[in-house]
Amino acid sequence: MKIAIDAMGGDFAPLEIVKGVEQARDRYQEIEFQLYGTAEQVKPLVKDWTRINLIPTTEVIEMGEEPVKAMRRKKDSSMVRAANAVKAGEADALFSAGNTGALLSSAIFLVGRIKGVDRPALATALPSFEGPHDQFVFMDLGANAENKPVHLYQYGILGSFYASHVLNIENARVRLLNNGAEEDKGDEVHKVAHQLMKNSHAFNFVGNIEARELLAGTADVVVADGFSGNAALKATEGTALTMLKQIKSAIMASGLSGKIGGALLKPAFKTIQKKLDYNEAGGAVILGVNAPVVKTHGSAKANAVANTMGQIKIMIENNLVGDIQTFVADHADDLKAAKQALQNDENV
Amino acid sequence: MKIAIDAMGGDFAPLEIVKGVEQARDRYQEIEFQLYGTAEQVKPLVKDWTRINLIPTTEVIEMGEEPVKAMRRKKDSSMVRAANAVKAGEADALFSAGNTGALLSSAIFLVGRIKGVDRPALATALPSFEGPHDQFVFMDLGANAENKPVHLYQYGILGSFYASHVLNIENARVRLLNNGAEEDKGDEVHKVAHQLMKNSHAFNFVGNIEARELLAGTADVVVADGFSGNAALKATEGTALTMLKQIKSAIMASGLSGKIGGALLKPAFKTIQKKLDYNEAGGAVILGVNAPVVKTHGSAKANAVANTMGQIKIMIENNLVGDIQTFVADHADDLKAAKQALQNDENV
């Protein structure tokens, strides 16, 4: 299998990307890596060229650039060239740690939407601290600022496939992020989405979930609109970070006994921090496009990059995208019927 | 000053409500308490009737009831009678630990919207862990499932008054919860709201905030639409709770040294937990109605109830509602102009 790599995207690119790719090359014998990047910068960093190819590019999409414009204008950028390689079938998946918006645009406009999927979404696996599984799928994390009910319904399908094919969770319990447990809660979009999901046989919908329960393990797939999904994800990250910082500073301020306590508890804290540090385990995936497209955190170091290659390998091996394509094609009539049943509702 | 109290609302009503009122009576000499509740249940609980009056009622609005219906039908319920007392000028503020939706309806339809405020909102003070102040105002927490830009703009005014009059923060830094820092981020509602807020002289708008920064002290008032505000608040609560639980169980599982560490760190953890336990400090306030209406957590015990009375006392003493009424009346033209400037935009 071949992975097209945007070697120039991310805070520590190209150094940490190249280091991560070499780590991944040593771990995963079956992967060939195509590095898209500025030759003068990338070439000196590669220590061993086994299963690594450099495809020289001349442009770089920066973090602050307007996504769609950047993608359209910088045709010889590392990201666009890598995306076009996937489009042309020269690679099986696309990796970048760069501009998220530009990667979304490249995924949707170059790699291409899966026929029948209206709006691709950004998904990630977050830790579950209780319940039967260690992780759950959370989406949309903000690929879309606005969603219609039919998008949320489709996320139930995409998320369930990610749960089964990557997290090894069969018959995933899908919940809709809403401001209450009852089915009549929420704005019009979420009320209609709830009904669509409830009446669907395409996945195992088990009702609404409130953000308070996100980490508690009561769902394997949590579907959210991009705006509130983004808010809930960031509130979760921010709170976890603030608490760890507060605990550390409380330990530092609490005199000798507190410092001894802190030292004794270090292993326990490490366990929790590791579980919370889901960015280290892999990237966020753009689901609903014709190949695995994965975005690692901009500040990802080599180890996170290498772990993400392992995650991409699983997606390719387990035919995640192919199985979604087949399912959506086979159920095109159901999807249309769901839309039609609600055609009088302007929100659908 | 007089506070009308729904003695029957909440998980531990009427016992903990009455106990809390007696604590508050002993703390605050200037408050008279009107207890609305079922006489046979409330009467035996009151130990000292100094500055406490019982107004017997025959009905109770339960937690699960449909809010507007319950308010309309149960005219002799403790909540509706207490709200009507405020409406009639017999009391200065309304307190309840009961059904949030019914209290919102009672606040809006009985106590009444302030003229010029389109949508009252639910606000609370949350802890700031960094920055110049210990707390910030967060609203709307879910009074509204959908908001228009003009509502968010008005929340900037309401929240600033709460910051100055209750939290003692002058010239409060107002931010808009959005999915990015740049002004063109978000859906149409948030883009338009940003422009309205930016162009306003009614308060000190300093830009967007992402949910990751909520607790970090970069804002004194965070304005959110009710749906994503609710999601961000609950994600914050859930994450904090999960982390404290995880730390406790990690300590229990980590052998003798971990347990000793945990014991040594107890004071440090207590400090953090206390700061996070903002429900203990007071209730959520319905801003934009003609009197202070405060909702304490359903599971509030006597101490939280008494603290909430202290919070209500400050609102009355500092003339929070009167000053909002005056400001909104004085700026009616500005508000209309803001609406008109955007009248071509159907979202306003």
Q: Chain B contact for A59, CB < 8 A?
A: no
| A272-281 residue pLDDT tens | 888 878 788 8
Q: Chain B contact for A252, CB < 8 A?
A: no
- Contacts of residue A160, defined as CB under 8 A and 6 or more positions apart, other chains included, come to A172, A174, A202, A203, A204, A221
What's the pLDDT score for residue B275? 80
Say how far apart CA A100 and CA A10 lie, in whole Å: 10
B65 neighbors B104 (Cβ within 8 angstroms): no
CA-nearest residue to A141 within chain B is B179
DSSP A181-233: SSTT-S-HHHHHHHHHHHT-SSSEEEEEE-GGGGGGTS-SEEE--HHHHHHHH
φ and ψ of A48, to 5 deg: -140, 125
Shortest distance, CA B270 to any CA of chain A (angstroms): 10
Which ranges of chain A would DSSP assign to H, the alpha helix?
15-27, 39-42, 67-73, 78-87, 100-105, 149-165, 188-198, 226-253, 255-276, 302-317, 320-330, 332-341
What's the pLDDT score for residue A345? 57
Shortest distance, CA A268 to any CA of chain B (angstroms): 5
What's the pLDDT score for residue A254? 75
What's the pLDDT score for residue A348? 46
Q: Chain B contact for A251, CB < 8 A?
A: yes
Nearest of A170, A142, A137 to residue A156 by alpha carbon: A137
Say how far apart CA B264 and CA B245 lie, in whole Å: 17
User: Is residue B73's pLDDT more than 80?
Assistant: yes
Nearest of A123, A160, A155, A114 to residue A142 by alpha carbon: A123
Topology at the third CATH level for domain B1-113+289-317: Isopropylmalate Dehydrogenase (3.40.718)
Nearest to B272 among A233, A250, A269 (CB): A250
Q: Chain B contact for A247, CB < 8 A?
A: yes
φ and ψ of B318, to 5 deg: -90, 5
Asked if A271's CB is within 8 angstroms of B265's CB, the reply is: no
The CATH homologous superfamily for domain A118-282+319-348 is: Isopropylmalate Dehydrogenase (3.40.718.10)
Nearest to B212 among A185, A234, A262 (CB): A234
Give the sheet arrangement for strand A93-96, strand by strand.
A52-56, A32-37, A2-6, A93-96, A293-295, A284-287, A121-127, A135-139, A221-223, A173-177, A204-209
- Identical topology for domains A1-113+289-317 and A118-282+319-348: yes
CA-nearest residue to B209 within chain A is A231
- Contacts of residue A330, defined as CB under 8 A and 6 or more positions apart, other chains included, come to none
Say how far apart CA B131 and CA B128 lie, in whole Å: 7
- The number of CA neighbours under 13 Å toward the Cβ of B347 is 16
Domain boundary assignment for chain B:
1-113+289-317, 118-282+319-348
Checking A336-340 for CB contacts under 8 A at 24+ apart, the result is: A338/A150, A338/A153, A338/A196, A338/A199, A338/A200, A339/A150
ipTM: 0.90
pLDDT of chain A along its 348 residues, tens only?
999 999 999 999 999 999 999 999 999 999 999 999 999 999 999 999 999 999 999 999 999 899 999 999 999 999 999 999 999 999 999 999 999 999 999 999 999 999 999 999 999 999 998 899 999 999 999 999 999 999 999 999 999 999 999 999 999 999 999 999 999 899 999 999 999 999 988 999 999 999 999 999 999 999 999 999 999 999 999 999 898 888 888 888 877 877 888 888 888 788 788 887 878 888 999 999 999 999 999 999 999 999 999 999 999 999 999 999 999 999 888 777 777 776 655 544
A128 neighbors A216 (Cβ within 8 angstroms): yes
Say how far residue A77 (Cα) sits from the centre of its chain.
Answer: 22
Say how far apart CA A33 and CA A22 lie, in whole Å: 9
Give chain B positions within 8 Å (CB) of A233.
Answer: 211, 235
Burial of A56 (0-12, 13-18, 19+ CB in 10 A): middle
